[in-house]
Amino acid sequence: MSGVRTVSVIVPCRNERDHIEAFCRSVVEQSVPAGWALEVLIADGMSDDGTRERLAAWCAADPRFVMIDNPGRIVSCGLNRCIERARGDFIVRLDVHSVYARDYIAQCLSTWQATGADNVGGPWKAEGQAGPSGTVQRAIAAAFQSRWVAGGALSRDLAYSGPVDTVYLGAWPRETFQRFGGFDEQLVRNQDDEHNLRIHQGGGRVWQASAIRSTYHPRASIGDVFRQYRQYGYWKPFVMKKHGQAASLRHLIPGLFVGVWLGLLVWVVLCGLGTSLLGQPGGVLQQGLAWATVIGAALLLAQTVLYGAAVAAVSLLIARQQGMDLLSHLPRVIAAYHVGYGLGSLRGWWDVVRTGQPDPAFGRLTRGAAHQR
């Protein structure tokens, strides 16, 4: 129609048979402003669970939907394939498992028109399943939302509107990709953080608006959270290597914390072994090693106790706000976030320094491609 502009919705997915149709219905229900029309490009990472067949049937019934092959099978590749095909003046990323307010796309457009920012989005709101069976997932969501667990990340602040270093999902005028390029297809994780860092370095702006509302459903087990955040942490050093800086100092803290703890542990073990292997009781070297063992053990214990006390205090604070039934799970959840990210960061730095190339094992998805951030 004459005078109608297009919003291109871009979606990465893989093996989402049980969710893809409900997601498509939610996109159809979006209230798009007058003068705008939707096209929906879904990049399927060669699903083998029946997703492709269901998606193909939906696209055949609604010509606004188009399925694109994503042989790369990761989000950055899928997003780029969609961007290459997109015809819209404005491009909005959606993910399959998030739930969106009906005015989500309208608010993205309104925020962009009001701010002129190069990328806009809403806060990252996590929510777990209601009822006793969802207690662990609700604890995971509550910890995710906490500024104490997230290091003060503005993207977790549901009330904040203003400039940010990165934003959940994202929505861009087409010119953003012409100016700053697409997503780095070498990155399995953190492709959005890296792209936003590139925008900032190029003089652009990323803007968060609290009126852009969606809900994200996190992992439902502590083990899955640990693996997810170990992967997040692993890929962050490759982003830092590419740009020579971290997007935020909070990204460095978990790796530093875990590195110091492991360093002290190794120090205590080695000094203790050295003390026991020396055959001269009371010698100067043996006494020095003994003192080094004691000092190292004291520092290790102090770090462990202080972190444990901080986790306990934050857990209690979160539980008092979100429900005391979460309290028994929160310490393990918080540790999974921090220790997983820290261990992943250390391994990532090891591979950056040793070979400069990522380990393929860290390229395996920990959940469907629609969740790879």
CB 167 within 8 A of CB 209: no
CB atoms within 10 A of CB 47: 21
Name every residue whose Cβ is closer than 8 Å to that of residue 81 and which is 6 or more positions away in sequence: 43, 68, 69, 70, 72
pTM above 0.75, yes or no: yes
pLDDT at 360: 81
pLDDT digits 0-9 by tens, 175-219:
999 999 999 998 888 889 899 999 999 999 999 999 999 998 888
Name every residue whose Cβ is closer than 8 Å to that of residue 91 and which is 6 or more positions away in sequence: 7, 8, 9, 10, 83, 171, 172, 173, 174, 177
pLDDT at 158: 92
pLDDT at 371: 43
Reading the chain (373 residues) residue by residue, the pLDDT tens digits are 557 899 999 999 999 999 999 999 999 999 999 999 999 999 999 999 999 999 999 999 999 999 999 999 999 999 999 999 999 999 999 999 899 999 999 999 999 999 999 999 999 999 988 887 789 999 999 999 998 888 778 888 999 999 999 999 999 999 999 999 999 998 888 889 899 999 999 999 999 999 999 998 888 899 999 999 999 899 888 888 887 766 567 778 899 999 999 999 999 999 888 877 765 665 677 778 888 889 999 999 999 999 999 999 999 999 999 999 999 999 999 999 999 999 999 999 999 999 888 888 886 654 444 444 4
Q: Which amino acid is at 298?
A: A
pLDDT at 365: 53
Question: Domains, the chain, ranges and CATH?
Answer: 5-134+159-218 (3.90.550.10)
CA distance 149 to 160: 17
Quickly tell me which residue has 């770090």 as its tokens.
Answer: 303
Which residues, listed in sequence order, are joined to residue 69 by a DSSP beta bridge? 44
The pair of three-digit structure tokens given for residue 256, joined into one six-digit string: 């530093």
| Coil/strand/helix, residue 215 | strand
Name every residue whose Cβ is closer than 8 Å to that of residue 249 and which is 6 or more positions away in sequence: none
Q: Which of 40, 33, 34 is nearest to 64 (CA)?
A: 40
Name every residue whose Cβ is closer than 8 Å to that of residue 354 and which is 6 or more positions away in sequence: none
pLDDT at 239: 84
Residue 96 to residues 165, 220, 313, Cα–Cα distance (Å): 24, 17, 35
Geometric angle at alpha carbon 193, from 113 and 372, rounded to 5°: 105
